[in-house]
Amino acid sequence: MAIRLGDVAPDFTAQTTDGTIRFHEWIGNGWCVLFSHPKDFTPVCTTELGYMARIKPEFDERGVKVIGLSVDSVEDHVRWSRDIAETQGTAPNYPMIGDPERKVAELYDMIHPNALDSLTVRTVYVIGPDKKVKLTLTYPASTGRNFDEILRAIDSLQLTARHQVATPVNWQRGDDCIIVPALSDADAKAKFPGGWETKKPYLRIVRQPS
């Protein structure tokens, strides 16, 4: 069954390049990005995993653990990591789940047979400290993802989890935000004492809360 926003991310135990992990225990009290790629030793995946390794410090800074998955073995992941280091300049510095029996892939509905026969498509699950799914993405095999966009979305998710704001189109960390419609002007006065600009009663622009 499809996993929807707000669902508890299914727990599992799996072999990874960092040893056996119990998923929820491994996430701990922070955030997590679980992403699947179709196949080891393939070109688009090689670029994606190398780039993810390069920007991993950005995820660390935000308290987000990163973990990859494909329906290949841990041994293949280890062999392929050397190619990723050689061609992309960075080897994966996050665990990769070996899932040759497709147990996790099926649990997370990562195999879309009408798009890609028996391999995982490119999915992303952002999971919060409460173990609930906060964001999902699904890309086809031929389209590499924009991992900077995942960071940007995490900035929004973490901000909007703490403050009663939403983030507008193309928002980036530090940009102005929108006061959520559910908050009355009277309540907003207490939350945002610096004030805000009312463009329409439903469109109130406020500086990003810190």
For 105, half-sphere exposure in the C-beta direction (CA atoms, 13 angstrom radius) is 27
Cβ contact 14:111 at 8 Å: no
Among 17, 42, 90, 138, indicate the residue that binds ligand BEZ (CB under 6 A).
42
Q: Which is nearer to ligand BEZ, 45 or 126 (CB)?
A: 45
- Which residue carries 């900077």 as its tokens? 148
Return the structure tokens found at 199. 């463009």
Q: Is 45 in the site for ligand BEZ (CB under 6 A)?
A: yes
- Token duo for residue 106: 């099926």
Both tokens of residue 11?
């727990």
Q: Given candidates 3, 44, 107, 157, which one binds ligand BEZ under the rule CB under 6 A?
A: 44
CB of 116 to ligand BEZ, least distance (A): 7
- Told to check if 138 binds ligand BEZ by CB under 6 A, we report no
- Interaction of residue 113 with ligand BEZ, rule CB under 6 A: no
Q: Is 141 in the site for ligand BEZ (CB under 6 A)?
A: yes
Is residue 112 a contact residue for ligand BEZ (CB under 6 A)? no
- Size of interface with ligand BEZ, in residues (CB under 6 A): 8
Residue closer to ligand BEZ (CB basis): 39 or 103: 39
Binding flag, residue 201, ligand BEZ (CB under 6 A): no
First vs last Cα of the chain: how many Å apart?
38
* Residue number, 97 or 127, with CB nearest to ligand BEZ: 97
Position 163 contacts ligand BEZ (CB under 6 A): no
Whether residue 43 contacts residue 69, with contact meaning beta carbons closer than 8 Å, is answered with: no
β-strand pairing of 31-36 with 165-166: unpaired
Does position 137 bind ligand BEZ by CB under 6 A?
no
**Distance between CA 124 and CA 154 in Å, rounded?**
12
The amino acid at 44:
V
Least Cβ distance, residue 140 to ligand BEZ (angstroms): 8
Told to check if 69 binds ligand BEZ by CB under 6 A, we report no
Task: State how far the Cα of 162 lies from the Cα of 152, in Å rounded to an integer.
Answer: 16
Active-site amino acid positions: 45
Residue-wise DSSP of 83-94: HHHHHHS----S
Q: Does 68 bind ligand BEZ (CB under 6 A)?
A: no
Which residues lie near ligand BEZ (CB under 6 A)?
38-39, 42-45, 141-142
